[in-house]
Structure 1
Amino acid sequence: MNMKQTNFIITSAAFVIVIAGMKVASTILIPFLLAAFITILTLPTLLFLNKKGFPKGISVFIIILLLIFLGGTLSTLLGTSISGFSSRIPFYTEQITNRINWLIELISGFGFKIPKSTMNEYFDPGTAIQIIGNTLSGLRSVLTNTFLIILTVLFLLMEVSEIPTKIKKAFPNSSDLFKSIKSFFEGFNRYLVIKTATSIFTGIFIFLWLYFIGIDFPILWGLLAFILNFVPNVGSILAAIPAVLLAIIQFGFLKALFVVIGFLIVNIGLGGLLEPRFLGRGLGLSPLVVFLSLVFWGWVLGPVGMLLSVPLTMILKIALENNSNTKWIAIIIGSDK
């Protein structure tokens, strides 16, 4: 076994150990990862305030106040809506069971016999509603770490201006590494700002659409659409499922179709037209890798891992690019555009 093969085996083993450690420590790791990406998102605001003559301490204080306000508002809205939804789960379970029985009888009228026991075997409405409730509760549990996240953002913002200098001192002969990191932060910041803007618009549109249709808890589904819009490829589908299901429970299949149309309008308009135009080639990852990273980081870190799958994979790509033994992997997972 030559040295190159040995290095590859050692690198692979180290990667497996790190991922296993991240999975075990995900509860502790998630707040710090969220804080890091919130810091990147707020960095342009910090630089803008500094250019306007505000001292760094005052600039950071203003940003932290904004984050406390936004975090508190988000936690309150989500907490209230999730509690209300959870209290109505038994009612929704009963209603969707009635809808399914009605559908079975309708199909039976055309000569197709579907035993109710068979339907219940493959689809348990109570379980489906409970899964939605548990997922929302898990989202609320992440928000309970708001104080820790904001405190971490505070320290990161105070230190962020010194990070480039520290990297240059730590790696004096690695100019390519510094360029890769700088390119990543510039690209990721652009990605995050545009994605946040489109996600806010998506959330507002879905809230208003569902409100005028009359769906219960439109604020909850608007916030869910905002959050899940950060999940590549499948986020919009996941956001639509509970709203469509609730429309079927409340009003039947016709209004559920209007809910589907609303999600299609906003996702085709933003996700299919505006986002590609402003994001351009994105962050240099192939579509297949984006999807696989979604699954992988979701397995490692849960729902938050799905939200952060793109930036986490980009960090991994930079690490692979700057190691001669693994550079070929970075080329494979990168986009050819």
Structure 2
Amino acid sequence: MDRPVRLAPGLLVLLGLASAAVVLTFLRTASGWAAPAVLALMLTIAVHPIRARLARMGAPEWVRFLVPLLTVLVFLAAMGLAVAVSVSQLISLLPQYSAEVVNIGENLTALLARVGVDTSYLSRQVKDLNPANLVPVLQTFLNGVMSLSSTGVLLVTLLFAMCLDATALGHQLAVLESDKPDLVRALRSIVRDTYSYLKVSTIFGFLMATLDVIALTLLDVPLPLLWGLLAFIANYIPTIGFLLALIPPALLTLLIAGPAKALAVVAAYLVINFVTQSLLLPKFLGGAVGLSVTLTMLSLIVWTSVLGPLGAILAVPLTLMVRALLLDIDPEKAWAGRLLTGASPRPE
């Protein structure tokens, strides 16, 4: 009997990279529906405990479908309304600080000129600085949030379908487990790891956003709820989310109150981020995700380039899904799990 052909690990890696390039190229061209589909799947997983509790209580199937679906829809509607109200407040606030922006630009130009930098081009640009120029951009964004686009319709439709199929899928996995234990284990690990990540990130994101709002209120920074909402959403973006949440309130404070209070805002954000993300979060998240820092950063770059801004928020859940389907499903690929994630695939 012929012995089976075994490929060298290096060749397997090259073939895997080539296959990944093909799949990612396809997803990039189909990002219009792929990104909402992944978001719908993540939201369906996020409300899985509600569905499981209702099942344990003996609720009928239509209740197990309707309650999780309504929970997701109410959450999305509340987030959209909060963003719309906050952005509308920002639109009314920005034009008030045109003079401050020009003054800061002139001071910066004078400072550079004193150290010998040619500021002729910069001086012309400073005269055109005006926060009001951002208003049309924000107004367009606000109109997009308020309107029910085709993406929103697709997202709601997919949520409806996935919530409807979730209960039946659980039964099918139970039946399939005896024949395909590795596949079932991998699929369940997707749900378990994704839910663990979303739950812990949501709790600590809310905690961090609340502390940010309190700090900004004490420092008398305008629109603290908007910046708290930004901090909550940016918390799902690994590595750079903190900076994305910090820059707008710090710049606004610089315009209104000068560099001293802006530095106070930066210091408050740094302390809050250090306590919540560096001290507390690892103790609760632990090894549940099992992604190395390097892989997390690469995931952010790859999924953002493939799916756009939504890919940045979904980077970690998507990588967990890929790891489960490509590595956890096959015990022989445990070496790849250790190499890429810093942790071997965990047993069920």
Residue 137 (structure 1) aligned with residue 141 (structure 2)? yes
Residue 34 (structure 1) aligned with residue 21 (structure 2)? no
Match of 1:193 in 2: 199
Could you say if the C-alpha distance between residues 21 and 126 of structure 1 is closer, same or farther in structure 2, counting changes exceeding 3 Å? farther
Deviations, residues 198-240 of structure 1 (Å, cap 9, x unaligned): 1112222222322332323222211110001011111111110
2:266 to 257, 260, 281: 260
- Cα separation, 1, equivalents of 2:319 and 2:198: 14
Residue 289 (structure 1) aligned with residue 292 (structure 2)? no
Match of 1:117 in 2: 120
Match of 2:339 in 1: 332
User: For residue 196 of structure 1, what is the amino acid of its counterpart?
Assistant: T
Aligned-pair distance for 1:179?
Answer: 1.5
Could you say if the C-alpha distance between residues 268 and 11 of structure 1 is closer, same or farther in structure 2, counting changes exceeding 3 Å? closer
Deviations, residues 39-76 of structure 1 (Å, cap 9, x unaligned): 11111112122223322312332333333332222212
Match of 1:21 in 2: 26
Deviations, residues 254-278 of structure 1 (Å, cap 9, x unaligned): 1111211221122111101111000
- Cα separation, 2, equivalents of 1:300 and 1:93: 37
- Cα separation, 2, equivalents of 1:197 and 1:279: 11
Aligned-pair distance for 1:334?
Answer: 1.5
Deviations, residues 135-173 of structure 1 (Å, cap 9, x unaligned): 993994898544543442232122112224445777874
Q: TM-score, normalised by structure 1?
A: 0.83
Map 1:80-159; keep pairs closer than 5 Å: 80-86=85-91, 89=94, 92=97, 94-105=99-110, 112-117=115-120, 119=122, 130=134, 137=141, 140=145, 145-159=151-165
Q: TM-score, normalised by structure 2?
A: 0.81
- Cα separation, 1, equivalents of 2:117 and 2:272: 36
- Cα separation, 2, equivalents of 1:248 and 1:31: 37
1:57 to 59, 62, 81: 62
2:71 to 57, 66, 70: 66
Pick which of 82-91 and 152-161 moved more.
Answer: 82-91
Aligned-pair distance for 1:304?
Answer: 1.0
Could you say if the C-alpha distance between residues 130 and 18 of structure 1 is closer, same or farther in structure 2, counting changes exceeding 3 Å? farther
Match of 2:231 in 1: 225
2:52 to 47, 55, 58: 47
**Where does the alignment leave 5 or more consecutive residues of structure 1 unmatched?**
none
Pick which of 168-177 and 30-39 moved more.
Answer: 168-177
- Cα separation, 1, equivalents of 2:203 and 2:152: 22
- 8 Å contact 2:237–2:312 — kept in the other structure? yes
Pick which of 21-30 and 132-141 moved more.
Answer: 132-141
| Percent of residue pairs bearing the same amino acid type | 25
| Secondary structure of 1:53's aligned partner | coil
User: For residue 19 of structure 1, what is the amino acid of its counterpart?
Assistant: L
**CA RMSD across the alignment:** 3.6
- 8 Å contact 1:248–1:256 — kept in the other structure? yes
**Where does the alignment leave 5 or more consecutive residues of structure 2 unmatched?**
none
Aligned-pair distance for 1:8?
Answer: 6.8
Deviations, residues 64-111 of structure 1 (Å, cap 9, x unaligned): 333333222221221132234345555556532321322444677xx5
Count of residues in Structure 1 that have an aligned counterpart in Structure 2: 333
- Cα separation, 2, equivalents of 1:220 and 1:259: 15
Could you say if the C-alpha distance between residues 228 and 8 of structure 1 is closer, same or farther in structure 2, counting changes exceeding 3 Å? closer
- Cα separation, 2, equivalents of 1:263 and 1:215: 13
